[in-house]
Structure 1
Amino acid sequence: MPPAATPAPAPDRDGARGGLRATRNPLLLAPAAAGPLAALVFVLATALARSHPLGPYTRNVVDLGQQYLPYHAYWRALLLGDTHGDAFLNWNSGFGAGFLGDIGTYLSSPFSLLVVLFPADRPELALYVITVLKIAAAGAAMAALLIRLRPAGRAAGPWPLAALLGAAYALSGWTFNHGASVPMWLDGLIAFPLLCLVAEWARTGRRPVLGPLVVAVAWIANFYTAYMATLGAALFLAVRLFTADATDGTDATDGTNGAGVTGAAPAADAQGTPGAPSAARRRLAALLRAGWTVCLGVGLAAPLVLVVFSGTKYADPTPETVFAPASWTELFGRLLPATAQVNTPALFIGTPALVLALSLPFNRAVAPRVRRAWTVLIVLVTLSLQWGPTHLLWHAGASPNGNPYRQTFVLCGLLLVAAWLSAAPGVPCPAALLGAAVLLGALALAARTSPDIDAWTYPAAGAAALLALAAALLALRAARRAPAGHAGRSAADPRPAGASRALPVAAAVLLLAAQAGETAVGGMRVERQQRAEVAWAPRIGEWQRAVGAETARADAWPAYRTDPGPLPGGNEPLLLGGEGADAYSSLTTENTSRTLDSLGFGHYAKGRHPETLDNPVTDAIFSIGARVRSEATEPVRQDAAPRGTATTARTPVPPLVTVRPGGPGAVDPADSAFRNQELLLGAAVYAQPAVRRTGTTLTARCPAGTALWFWAPEYHGTAALAGAAPVDYDGRPPAVRAAMATLGTVPADGRIRIDLVPEKGLTLPDRPVGCLDRARLAAAVARLTATGATRVTATGHTLTAELPPGSTGTAVVAVPRTTGWRCAAGAAAPVSARSHRGLIAVPLDGRATRVSCSYRPPGVRLGAAAGAAALLALLATALLARRRAGRPAGASPEGRQEFTDRPREARSSGRDADYAARRTGA
């Protein structure tokens, strides 16, 4: 805080020692205590849940194990130069996928850089530590915001309370239920209080350079939740402008300070006389400053944000989701501890903190305008969670698949601001606490039928309420003694000095025990419920390490691809190395998904998670010359790291770039996957017999000795060739598509009987059976190898192939053709790549002996231009602010303070007062 906003406190002399005791700064103490407290309680909850790394059970639930763990493992390898690709392109996943958008989606948080400090085989520990540090940072940021909502020149409340409420924000139900398993969203949790601080700077005309930088970092770290945090900060600013004067932190009409505590005088306009037009102009100026700050910050983040935005345009579209609001019973229930659910808002902030927030409407120590404004804001934000149009506004116009209440952390933050405003002036009066208790009781009673209520919910909330009540009674008793025992205690007072401190300390200890204990127990229960009710992946163990070692030994990129094969979790090529089809990203392109679907690959996540396919024809198409096959040696469990063995099978395959006669062709996703494979291979290798269906039995005839493949993407159940082991199919459209699989070898008589055991309805394609002739496949591979590239080189985001002289037709690169690829034959200028049945195609004229392709993420050039313009505008803003401050560029007479609009006389008087205060205590 600048000296004018925060005058130097008077020194505190210790009479017993006869010396000077250094003044404690609550602006630093509150965040310094909130961060470690939040981290400690979160770690305690992990230990109580016996979750890894503080217990044997896996934490890899839902996307934590399928996305964030593999991405962070790959991020470490990329930062240390151990990958084939670069920041533009990831050669490991999806047969070559853009990566800059994934960085902006999953990895651009500054905290993600910490993965380089951990061993390569401990990504789970790295991700857990990053999660804990993000939670600590969120608690510190909220405490820093709360302690600054105070009267100018004096503290508005005790810093321990700000620290406790800051930790409560970081450990809300949203954090345990969603943020801890989707770590990228935790950056939005940090961003909200920071952006509220930026709003305060804009309101008071301060920090014109630091503000945009904070906005930029928030949007770079995770633009999705930063957008929600920005909306929340805008609402925060609107209420602050309504309740507090825009220049000195005092209320314009209620005679209150900026925190809503009565006692400050109304503000005057610039001429020293009150006037509504002047106040209106100041508020308008604050709004313009805030808008300019956000525009600059988002512009600085544009080089990454626009790449992500462009990537969403080409991403595989998910089915449209119609928002269905949660019942009010469930919403009220989520205010209580130990509740977990994906489709309801996680609003738990701790019973003590919630009581303080609910006491604000009844607390007469807070100005009426402040009480009304914050109460109305919280009610309106709560209602906005439940209304379709505002639901779309919170989610940038697109209703998300999955959790529809991702913005809940903003409401949690506003509730804690309300709790601070009510408690900062002192313990709320008994009437206010009683009103809050009655309101909380009504909410808890209404929630009793909610299916989210856990057996621990009411006992934990009741215990916390009793401890909080005891803390309130002690604090009220201490407050009654305060005039005689603190500020006004005379030297003749016979009571020992420690007596006046014992009650507040005991109250603080009880409040801490209530808030932290309930949060730790509630967090423990949420983790256990998630393990029992949602999808999970095992911890990293000997099985994954064995596969990783085999993959590293077999890898010979770009001579051929090495596929690590499927393991529980997904995104294996990012976690274990190699180059396969498996990829799970929100930016998986539609062309990649549709191309692989048409060839018989399976997928999860409605198409955005293609999975590997162990098929010799697709191995030849995509040049997979080494395939790691592994299996678990014991059942995969939640409470143990998996063990397994791995072996490598090598197969002759064509090079990554092959030459086909004729021009580029299209593929029909609705056609038979066997037919599409043959079209892309350029040879007929399957017999596709007519199939007769009798109930759940299929019969057909195929050449003896051929490999029988069964393709039924929507089938859920088992399929078995007579006399062979059954094979599982997991089709659950539209979310899950089952991959084709081999059922065995056609018997000598050529008769096929397939027994199906469906778990749901039986839906089959017209041609579900294909019998592969391996001799024909070998001949096709030999032909493509003879006419294909003699040498392939891949570096970063480029690929170059040397071709036999006189090559004509089309060079086909075994990489899905996505927007951003540019290719050239010979010395020709690069142009947008063409498509051959979904793969990159380069037309040949018989003269070129070399083709080259490079990838540039869509949106990167526009983003760079926008970022450069924003940087120039920021520099101009800095120069203008220095000129208005009346001092030359580079001069900073007040040290680290940033630019301010105060006149030189005010700055001088502020420094003189600061100096005099220091001299007084010298």
Structure 2
Amino acid sequence: MAPEPTAVDSPPPGGPDRPPRRRAARLYGPLLAFLITSAAFCAAWVARGTFPFGNTGRAINDQANQYVPFHRALWDLVHGQAAGDVLFTWRGGFGQQFLSDYYTYLGNPFSWLTVLVPRAHVDLAVFAITPITMGTAAALMAVYLGKLHPGPWWQRGVLGATYGLCGWALSDASYIPMWLWGLVALPLLGIAVEWCLEERRWPGVALLVALAWFGNFYTAMMATMAACVLLAIRLITRDMTGAQRLRALWRAGTAAATGILLTLPLLLPSFLSSGSAQPTKVGDFDPVRIEIFLSGMLPATHLWGGRPRLYVASLGLILAGSFVLNTRIAKRTRLVWAAAILLVASSFQFPPTQYVWHGLAVPNGNPYREAFVFSGMVVIVAWLALANRPRPLHLALSAALLVVATFVLRHTNDFGGWTWPAVLGGGALSLLALVLLRLGEKRRYLVPVAAVLMVGVVFAESTAAAVNADSRRARERWAKPSATSNQSITNHFDAVRRVDGWPAYRTDSGAPQTSYNDALALQAEGPQYYSSYLPEVTYRALEPLGYGYKNDGRTFFGADNPVLDAIFSIGARVRPDTAPNSWTGSTFPAPPLVTVRTAPYTSPHPADSVYARQENVLGATVYEVPEVTRGGTATEQTYAARCTPGSEAFWYSPALYGTLTTGATEKPLEDRMTGVTPLGPVPASGELDVKVTTRTKDATAGTHPVGCLNRAALDRTVSHLTATGATSVDTGGHTIEATLPPGARGTAVLAMTNVPGWQCSAPIRDFHGLVSLDLPADTTKLSCTFTPKGLTPGLTGAALALLTLVSVTVAARRRRA
């Protein structure tokens, strides 16, 4: 039995599209969608007084800690100022892979706009990526809607904007440039689906899939699953033969596989890097209560925490509600679309299907990251309703249902303050505009009035929704805005550059940090690094040595400790100066990046002491680790120890959160975030007294929190490692070469963590988490090259896909010729 024909051949409101208007619609509809979306989002910035339109900080959470620093690293890469290349970076984490980070954090094609501005303004360019990407998504949705059903360009533009300004974009992804590419990918893949159904442009379909996946594989995966749903819907509702359906499926499957294979040089290394990354403690998916889930569908609602933001503007909701009542649309079409939307929404609440949406992984953060898929489907049925001239009665019933739903859900925990104005004000104006549009079929002068009203209400309501999302989110501790450019940051950067000596030695940008990725942001080479791909081997190398960390070990901080400086060839450090917003750098002797150890060494101090572990890597005894006497109470703990007068005391207590006081010095303790901390010189009495005021229940500083450094012994060790180490070291983008002194024997230790992907001129041995090589006799040079795991097979797969793409294109051209 053939499917029912989809709707309606009567002209849409505003009259039929004539050829000149069709040509105009190709530009005007998407342009209108782009302008409404980007202007509404920027208007919210203005209303909030947000940078660059005011003094309120713009960068929240990972935008400050990851995205701005990574975009500054991209700027450095393009302008020849990077210590590394697209495969590897020497900045941060003592050398880490960069390809997976590039794919994950810099894949949005608009990220390349940041390289066109001065480095000092990269953060502003990062902020601009958001309205540009949202506007592009809206424009592409306007194009896709036109492929589903003809209609006036301005109406498609308005509904495209409701998609670009959906709740997920405003509340979840507005500060995440790479995720926003998923908003673009959905209509992009929708267009690809239509080309498959039309049995045309197979190479174009493959390229659209590749473009979606090059931007960000995570949200592209969700958009691809949504495209499968759209394809299924269209195969059922479109008037096609069985053979045509099979051909469409074949074209879609082969083009999708080819497109994804084109991204394999990025996709496969990222997948393998994710598998070797430091694991995080992520709980099981716990769906929200049904009333909270439904509240997320109400316009201008921002729910706290990891809750779904599913809404679009009232105009889209009212039209979508009228869809099932619109008899001008074939019954089968209405039933299939309605069932699909209900199934998609239900899948968000069912753990097994939620895992499928998220690539069989529990998301670390908001578990409703695929919410834009639902919003996109709502906008699609809203367009199908509008293009088929909904009756005012049906629109009124839909608007009334929206009001009733809002009334019923008004007591839901987290009910938004802007929801009622959006429902009553925006809903009433939307209904008025739609009624005027229907009356405009006979009174043409009403059509421009309806158009202006529709544009205005979507703009105003979405601006208010964006302001609401920003203001409510700012009340959460994790979302407190951070500065990404000011005089202090500029001076900090300048101070780092003044003492730079790479690759002769590393420079640590010091504390306090502006971001978790200060090494990238400030062109330093310290341990500071924050990435979802930080390898487990890096965590296992740095954590035992006393570096502070958080995010289950995917974020590492610096530590002002001379022994760690010697281990990792840190020869310069930047600290705050006495004047406000000023920084000063200092240099000091440091061994080269490649040192030589002639014999095994084991510290004489207790093996569970962080100071013994440091000595094991350094290869010399430089600490005194005294016995510590603990007293006081659970919240006011006291510690007493005795060390050699004049030595330098250090403290390490990763289990305590609170405040440390010794003499006149007071320091904050933030459990694992606080690494080894200097206490200052041991007084002439040799007595060390430390008091810790803590809020950590049933936790202590452990058995050996104190270590006293013999600076003279350390200086002798540094001199020895320098004299016996490499005479010269040269680092390329993802290579390191060293020249060793004549007669070098033993083991060469490279001051970099043993991340997967290194291949050296001799077999690699793990040395306390660092790369080391046994030196054969008469070795004068050594070299290592980093290649991300999966890159070679990824390039092979991409080459095959490209060959297929070119072959199909050439064959098609020959057939047409």
The answer as to whether partners of 2:90 and 2:96 remain within 8 angstroms in 1 is yes
Q: Secondary structure at the match of 1:697?
A: strand
- Residue of structure 2 aligned with 1:169, choices 163, 173, 192: 163
The answer as to whether partners of 1:333 and 1:339 remain within 8 angstroms in 2 is no
Query: 2:707 matched to which residue of 1?
Result: 770
Query: 2:338 matched to which residue of 1?
Result: 375
The answer as to whether partners of 2:134 and 2:164 remain within 8 angstroms in 1 is yes
Query: 1:655 matched to which residue of 2?
Result: 592
* 2:664 aligned with 1:724: yes
User: What is the one-letter code of the residue matched to 1:748?
Assistant: A
Q: Secondary structure at the match of 1:644?
A: coil
Q: Distance in 1 between matches of 2:26 and 2:746?
A: 71
The answer as to whether partners of 2:629 and 2:639 remain within 8 angstroms in 1 is yes
Shift of 1:88: 1.2
Q: Distance in 2 between matches of 1:461 and 1:401?
A: 32
- Residue of structure 2 aligned with 1:750, choices 686, 690, 695: 686
* 2:268 aligned with 1:331: no
The residue correspondences of 1:446-465 to structure 2 (distance < 5 A) are 446-465=408-427
Q: Distance in 1 between matches of 2:20 and 2:372?
A: 40
Query: 2:786 matched to which residue of 1?
Result: 855
Q: Distance in 2 between matches of 1:22 and 1:391?
A: 43
Q: Secondary structure at the match of 1:703?
A: coil
Query: 1:550 matched to which residue of 2?
Result: 495
Q: Secondary structure at the match of 1:565?
A: coil
Q: Distance in 2 between matches of 1:749 and 1:455?
A: 63
User: What is the one-letter code of the residue matched to 2:665?
Assistant: A
- Residue of structure 1 aligned with 2:768, choices 831, 837, 853: 837
- Identity percentage of aligned residues: 38
The answer as to whether partners of 1:598 and 1:671 remain within 8 angstroms in 2 is no
Q: Distance in 1 between matches of 2:515 and 2:757?
A: 29
Q: Distance in 2 between matches of 1:173 and 1:338?
A: 8
Query: 1:530 matched to which residue of 2?
Result: 473
Query: 1:896 matched to which residue of 2?
Result: none
Q: Distance in 1 between matches of 2:285 and 2:669?
A: 31
The answer as to whether partners of 2:301 and 2:309 remain within 8 angstroms in 1 is no
Q: Secondary structure at the match of 2:324?
A: helix
- Provide Cα deviations, 1:402-433, integer angstroms capped at 9, x if missing partner: 1111111111111100111111112x213322
User: What is the one-letter code of the residue matched to 1:887?
Assistant: R
Query: 1:406 matched to which residue of 2?
Result: 369
- Provide Cα deviations, 1:184-237, integer angstroms capped at 9, x if missing partner: 001111011000111111122111111101111111111111111000011011
User: What is the one-letter code of the residue matched to 1:729?
Assistant: L
The residue correspondences of 1:330-479 to structure 2 (distance < 5 A) are 330-335=292-297, 336-426=299-389, 428-479=390-441
Q: Distance in 1 between matches of 2:38 and 2:55?
A: 20
User: What is the one-letter code of the residue matched to 2:686?
Assistant: G
Shift of 1:22: 7.2
Larger-gyration structure (1/2) = 1
Shift of 1:287: 1.2
* 2:507 aligned with 1:562: yes
Q: Secondary structure at the match of 1:629?
A: strand
The answer as to whether partners of 1:329 and 1:450 remain within 8 angstroms in 2 is yes
Query: 2:541 matched to which residue of 1?
Result: 595
Q: Distance in 2 between matches of 1:669 and 1:44?
A: 61
Q: Which stretch of the first structure deviates more once superposed, 502-511 or 542-551?
A: 502-511
CA RMSD of aligned residues (A): 2.1
Query: 1:504 matched to which residue of 2?
Result: 447
User: What is the one-letter code of the residue matched to 1:519?
Assistant: S
- Residue of structure 1 aligned with 2:265, choices 303, 314, 322: 303
Shift of 1:800: 0.9
The answer as to whether partners of 2:498 and 2:585 remain within 8 angstroms in 1 is no
The answer as to whether partners of 2:265 and 2:795 remain within 8 angstroms in 1 is yes
Q: Which stretch of the first structure deviates more once superposed, 506-515 or 429-438?
A: 429-438
Q: Distance in 1 between matches of 2:789 and 2:748?
A: 24
Q: Distance in 1 between matches of 2:109 and 2:455?
A: 31
* 2:546 aligned with 1:609: no
- Provide Cα deviations, 1:291-318, integer angstroms capped at 9, x if missing partner: 1111000011111111111111211111
Q: Cα gap change, 1:622/1:80 in structure 2, threshold over 3 Å: closer, same or farther?
A: same
User: What is the one-letter code of the residue matched to 2:409?
Assistant: A
Query: 1:904 matched to which residue of 2?
Result: none
Q: Distance in 1 between matches of 2:30 and 2:505?
A: 53
User: What is the one-letter code of the residue matched to 2:278?
Assistant: D
TM-score (norm 2): 0.94
User: What is the one-letter code of the residue matched to 2:216?
Assistant: N
* 2:816 aligned with 1:887: yes
Unaligned 5+ runs, structure 1: 1-9, 11-19, 247-278, 482-499, 634-642, 826-830, 889-922
Shift of 1:508: 1.8
Q: Distance in 2 between matches of 1:149 and 1:775?
A: 77
Q: Cα gap change, 1:391/1:632 in structure 2, threshold over 3 Å: closer, same or farther?
A: farther
Query: 1:869 matched to which residue of 2?
Result: 800
Q: Secondary structure at the match of 2:784?
A: strand
The answer as to whether partners of 1:68 and 1:106 remain within 8 angstroms in 2 is yes
Q: Cα gap change, 1:745/1:446 in structure 2, threshold over 3 Å: closer, same or farther?
A: farther
Shift of 1:581: 0.6
* 2:243 aligned with 1:281: yes
The answer as to whether partners of 2:577 and 2:584 remain within 8 angstroms in 1 is no
The answer as to whether partners of 1:714 and 1:737 remain within 8 angstroms in 2 is no
Shift of 1:438: 3.5
Shift of 1:21: 7.6
The residue correspondences of 1:161-310 to structure 2 (distance < 5 A) are 161-246=155-240, 279-310=241-272
- Residue of structure 1 aligned with 2:757, choices 812, 816, 820: 820
TM-score (norm 1): 0.83
Q: How many residues align?
A: 791
Q: Distance in 1 between matches of 2:23 and 2:618?
A: 74
Query: 2:569 matched to which residue of 1?
Result: 623
Shift of 1:560: 0.4
User: What is the one-letter code of the residue matched to 2:192?
Assistant: V
Q: Cα gap change, 1:184/1:631 in structure 2, threshold over 3 Å: closer, same or farther?
A: farther
Q: Distance in 2 between matches of 1:422 and 1:90?
A: 52
The answer as to whether partners of 1:467 and 1:513 remain within 8 angstroms in 2 is no
Q: Cα gap change, 1:875/1:22 in structure 2, threshold over 3 Å: closer, same or farther?
A: closer
Structure 1 consecutive aligned stretches of length 4 or more whose deviation exceeds 6 Å: 20-23, 663-666
Q: Cα gap change, 1:315/1:365 in structure 2, threshold over 3 Å: closer, same or farther?
A: same
The answer as to whether partners of 1:337 and 1:457 remain within 8 angstroms in 2 is yes
Shift of 1:555: 0.6
The residue correspondences of 1:39-50 to structure 2 (distance < 5 A) are 39-50=38-49
Q: Secondary structure at the match of 1:185?
A: helix
Q: Distance in 1 between matches of 2:792 and 2:600?
A: 31
Q: Distance in 2 between matches of 1:516 and 1:812?
A: 61
Q: Distance in 2 between matches of 1:222 and 1:598?
A: 34
The answer as to whether partners of 1:598 and 1:670 remain within 8 angstroms in 2 is no
Q: Distance in 2 between matches of 1:672 and 1:121?
A: 43
Q: Cα gap change, 1:578/1:474 in structure 2, threshold over 3 Å: closer, same or farther?
A: same
Q: Secondary structure at the match of 1:122?
A: helix
Q: Cα gap change, 1:514/1:665 in structure 2, threshold over 3 Å: closer, same or farther?
A: farther
Unaligned 5+ runs, structure 2: 1-10, 12-18
Q: Secondary structure at the match of 2:785?
A: strand
Q: Distance in 1 between matches of 2:673 and 2:356?
A: 32
Q: Which stretch of the first structure deviates more once superposed, 759-768 or 841-850?
A: 759-768
Shift of 1:84: 2.0
The residue correspondences of 1:54-65 to structure 2 (distance < 5 A) are 54-65=53-64
Q: Distance in 1 between matches of 2:434 and 2:239?
A: 32
Query: 2:459 matched to which residue of 1?
Result: 516
Q: Which stretch of the first structure deviates more once superposed, 874-883 or 40-49?
A: 874-883
Shift of 1:645: 0.9
User: What is the one-letter code of the residue matched to 2:217?
Assistant: F
Q: Distance in 1 between matches of 2:242 and 2:759?
A: 54
Q: Distance in 1 between matches of 2:602 and 2:380?
A: 61
